[in-house]
């Protein structure tokens, strides 16, 4: 009888103690020692990692871990930070009186004091000789001075002819002009005039351009050129390094630099994995470890073709870090915010807007500068001469007619920006301003286009050319949407074509033709589209000239917007493109303003920037600026990061040495496929049932 009285008490105690055990088992699991490996999830598609022949791609994550530069930019305060250079001295140019007005603030030379005790991954030393070799190699390879380079990028070159009207008595680069000029590079001269070794750890770099500041077009490139090992790559002093997929006999391997991690391998095709290993002889190891950083010994890189799979991998604890940018976005921000295993860190709106580049018909028909090799020919006239080299039969595939300025203006009001941004997942700021909210020159007083189909049609109807075309088709301001759409389908005013990257990791570019077609139809124009797997190649090689539109992302408003505005001047309508004037915009008034800004202090340029913004947003319309994405990153909740980590490489590639922590994993499963709470509840019910049956049988036996 005593057992019968105790049995209910035992059952209650069993259930009482079982529930906490189940709760504990259902909590995220954390190991007790810092994680020695860190897994990042990136996209697919590697470019050329060679600093002298660089092209964009996911190799940037390896480059950030393995290579270093002389300086780096810390965006929150726009400050220049030391890295392989411990300090620097800027030697200003003497004030000049040129053809425009008084010049001041130019940089003639920079002396870099180099960090001592730095080793490359191959054990060789970093010093002034190595720094000079890197600078010289970048010039030789990017300009193909010896004819050995397979890639000509002009990354270390400067178009002197552009500035010939601005030369002053002491700043005069006429020595670099000619046909061809002394370097054989179409009036291009090196950014660096000379690099002198003052002592083993001090170099003096003399510049050819005027160069306003360390954050100007020319000197920014110098300070952030990645440094590679002279010893390992001595055979590549005058030619580009092999692609990542190649390892020719005798080749020492990729990414041999001074960074905190050593490159091991990358395999995008089969395993879709990559690997880097902690560099124990890293120059800053002791200091970082003393502060609790640089604890991760291995970086495993997983390459994903699908952003949804990548996000899921983070949520499941398979990946520790994923970046977030419009091209390769996080697919579900809210789930990451709500999940206890992950944290989302929003940083800032991207400086690079998402936009559609519109081919300017006027620019295609405006003469290029009167210089070699084309001597004033228009891009339309030049195209047949270079088309065969691009594999284009100009008879079968002629250059596009381009998009008239009036059509571009009308389209800027016919396009539904907000709905496209929403369809792309949001997480951005819709803004048609070329200078985003992060720019000191962002000025809402400058008008910008917005979605207003009525205004778009007014622009066409009031135009002396397109107005009569609309009238002849029976179109008026009171015509219905259906009537305008019907004309677009049967007798369009014009038909315009788009080249866009179909599919891809992000996939958002697929939405552009979906929204462009009705926008053009609403103003009576037809639409055709073509996909490409290599949008970068198509743009750089000039194949974009076959189309009227291409969606793209480009940083047109950095801390110092003079950097990139310069590349949108009329003289930059090159074929093939090593410039970025994709729309072939040509306007001498704007050109002069952009040129003059290179000789003035940045804090005095608001009026000039307003003129440029107003022109681009309301007159020439070379782009439809859609939005600026909110760059962020997500990380396993068990890891922490140094405040400088996100700013190391534009918030996209983390500095792995500035991350530490203990990985938090999802609750382990008692039975695979079943949650712990469910297993515990089922177990309790089963045990209670068994005890109940036993008691029943016992009663029956006693009776």
CATH code: domain of residue 390: 3.10.105
Enter the pTM of the model: 0.82
Are 87 and 110 spatial neighbours (Cβ–Cβ below 8 Å)? Answer: no
* Residue 304 tokens, joined: 């994903």
* Residue 693 tokens, joined: 């049956």
pLDDT at 670 over 50: no
In a domain, 418, yes or no: yes
Same domain? 360 vs 484: yes
Return the closest-CA partner of residue 587 out of 625, 615, 549: 615
In a domain, 538, yes or no: yes
> What number is the average pLDDT over the span 271-288?
97
pLDDT at 128 over 70: yes
Q: Which of 630, 660, 682 is the last residue of a domain?
A: 630
Residue 234: partners with Cβ closer than 8 Å, 6 or more residues away: none
- The torsion of the CA quartet 58, 62, 63, 67, rounded to 10 degrees, works out to 180
Same domain? 407 vs 453: yes
Same domain? 505 vs 438: yes
Query: How does pLDDT run across 507-563, given as a tens digit for each residue?
Result: 678 899 999 999 999 999 999 999 988 777 777 677 888 999 998 876 655 567 776
Same domain? 377 vs 514: yes
Distance from C-alpha of 98 to C-alpha of 529, rounded to nearest angstrom: 48
pLDDT at 422 over 80: yes
The pLDDT mean for the chain works out to 84
> What domain count does the chain have?
2
Same domain? 485 vs 548: yes
Q: Which of 630, 655, 690 is the last residue of a domain?
A: 630
Query: How does pLDDT run across 570-624, given as a tens digit for each residue?
Result: 877 766 555 568 899 999 989 989 888 888 878 889 999 999 999 999 999 999 9
N- to C-terminal Cα separation, the chain: 13
Pairing of strands 659-661, 639-641: antiparallel
Q: What is the domain range of residue 470?
A: 354-558+614-630
> What number is the average pLDDT over the span 129-149?
88
Same domain? 624 vs 695: no
In a domain, 553, yes or no: yes
Q: What is residue 98's predicted lDDT score, i.e. its pLDDT?
A: 66
In a domain, 544, yes or no: yes
> Per-residue DSSP letters for 543-585?
GGGG-SEEEEE---S-SSTHHHHGGGSGGG--SS-SS--TT--
> What number is the average pLDDT over the span 433-459?
92
Burial 228-261 (b: 16+ CB within 10 A, else e): bbbebbeebebbbbebbeeeeeeeeebbbbbbbb
Element (H, E) at 29: strand 29-30
- Other C-beta atoms within 10 Å of 299: how many? 28
In a domain, 118, yes or no: no
* Residue 133 tokens, joined: 């070799």
Omega prior to 102 cis, within 30 of 0 = no
pLDDT at 36 over 80: yes
In a domain, 13, yes or no: yes
Q: What is residue 25's predicted lDDT score, i.e. its pLDDT?
A: 46
In a domain, 302, yes or no: no
Same domain? 544 vs 692: no
Q: Which of 579, 600, 630 is the last residue of a domain?
A: 630
Query: How does pLDDT run across 157-204, given as a tens digit for each residue?
Result: 877 877 888 888 888 888 887 645 444 445 678 889 999 999 999 999
In a domain, 477, yes or no: yes
Q: Which residue has the higher pLDDT, 27 or 444?
A: 444
Same domain? 626 vs 679: no
Same domain? 365 vs 432: yes
Same domain? 414 vs 532: yes
Q: What is residue 418's predicted lDDT score, i.e. its pLDDT?
A: 93
């Amino acid at each position: 009888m005593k057992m019968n009285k105790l049995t209910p008490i035992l059952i209650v105690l069993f259930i009482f103690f079982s529930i906490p055990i189940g709760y504990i088992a259902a909590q995220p699991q954390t190991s007790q020692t810092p994680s020695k490996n860190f897994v990042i999830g990136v996209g697919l598609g590697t470019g050329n990692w060679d600093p002298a022949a660089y092209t964009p791609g996911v190799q940037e994550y390896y480059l950030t871990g393995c290579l270093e530069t002389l300086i780096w930019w810390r965006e929150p305060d726009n400050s220049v930070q030391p890295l392989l250079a411990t300090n620097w001295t800027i030697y200003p140019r003497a004030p000049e009186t040129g053809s425009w007005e008084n010049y001041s603030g130019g940089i003639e030379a920079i002396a870099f004091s180099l960090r001592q005790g730095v080793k490359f991954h191959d054990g060789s030393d970093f010093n002034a000789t190595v720094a000079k070799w890197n600078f010289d190699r970048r010039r030789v390879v990017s300009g193909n001075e010896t004819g050995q380079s397979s890639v000509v990028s002009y990354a270390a070159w400067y178009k002197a002819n552009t500035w010939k009207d601005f030369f002053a008595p002491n700043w005069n680069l006429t020595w670099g002009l000619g046909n061809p000029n002394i370097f054989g590079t179409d009036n291009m001269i090196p950014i660096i005039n000379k690099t002198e070794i003052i002592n083993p750890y001090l170099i003096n770099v003399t510049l050819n351009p005027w160069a306003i500041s360390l954050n100007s077009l020319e000197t920014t490139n110098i300070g952030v050129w990645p440094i590679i090992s002279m010893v390992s790559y001595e055979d590549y002093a005058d030619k580009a390094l092999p692609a990542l997929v190649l390892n020719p006999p005798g080749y020492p391997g990729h990414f041999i630099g001074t960074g905190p991690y050593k490159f091991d391998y990358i395999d995008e095709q089969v395993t879709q994995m990559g690997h880097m290993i902690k560099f124990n002889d890293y120059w800053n190891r002791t200091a970082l470890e003393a502060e609790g950083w640089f604890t991760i010994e291995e970086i495993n890189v997983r390459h994903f073709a699908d952003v949804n799979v990548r996000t899921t991998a983070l949520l499941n604890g398979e990946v520790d870090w994923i970046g977030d940018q419009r091209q390769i976005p996080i697919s579900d921000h809210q789930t990451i915010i709500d999940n206890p295993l992950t944290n989302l860190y929003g940083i800032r709106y991207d400086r690079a807007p998402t936009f559609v580049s519109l081919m300017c018909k006027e620019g295609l028909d405006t003469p290029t500068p009167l210089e070699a090799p084309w001597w004033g020919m228009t891009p339309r006239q030049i195209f047949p001469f270079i088309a065969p080299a691009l594999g284009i039969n100009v008879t079968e595939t002629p250059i596009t007619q381009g998009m008239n300025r009036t059509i571009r203006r009308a389209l800027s009001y016919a396009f539904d920006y907000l709905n496209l941004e929403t369809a792309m997942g949001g997480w951005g700021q819709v803004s048609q301003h070329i200078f985003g909210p992060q720019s000191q020159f962002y000025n809402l007083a400058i008008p910008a286009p917005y979605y207003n189909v009525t205004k778009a049609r007014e622009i066409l109807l009031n135009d002396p050319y397109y107005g009569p075309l609309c009238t002849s088709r029976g179109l008026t301001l009171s015509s219905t949407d259906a009537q305008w759409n019907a004309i677009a389908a049967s007798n369009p005013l014009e038909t315009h074509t788009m080249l866009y990257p179909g599919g891809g990791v992000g996939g958002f570019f697929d939405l552009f033709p979906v929204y462009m077609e009705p926008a053009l139809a609403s103003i009576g124009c037809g639409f055709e589209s073509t996909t490409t797997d290599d949008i970068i190649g198509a743009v750089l090689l000039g194949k974009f000239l076959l189309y009227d539109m291409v969606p793209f992302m480009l940083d047109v408003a950095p801390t110092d917007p003079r950097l990139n505005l310069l590349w949108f001047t009329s003289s930059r309508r090159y074929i093939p493109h090593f410039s970025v004037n994709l729309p072939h915009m040509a306007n001498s008034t704007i050109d002069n303003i952009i040129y003059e800004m290179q000789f003035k202090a940045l804090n005095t340029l608001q009026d000039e920037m307003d003129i440029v913004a107003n022109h681009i947003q309301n007159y020439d319309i070379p782009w439809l600026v859609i939005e600026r994405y909110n760059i962020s990153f997500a990380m396993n909740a068990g890891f922490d990061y140094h405040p400088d980590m996100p700013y190391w490489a534009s918030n996209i590639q983390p500095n792995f040495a500035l991350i530490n922590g203990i990985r938090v994993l999802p609750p382990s499963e008692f039975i695979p496929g079943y949650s712990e709470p469910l297993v515990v509840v089922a177990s309790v019910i089963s045990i209670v049932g068994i005890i109940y049956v036993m008691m029943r049988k016992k009663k029956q036996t006693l009776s």
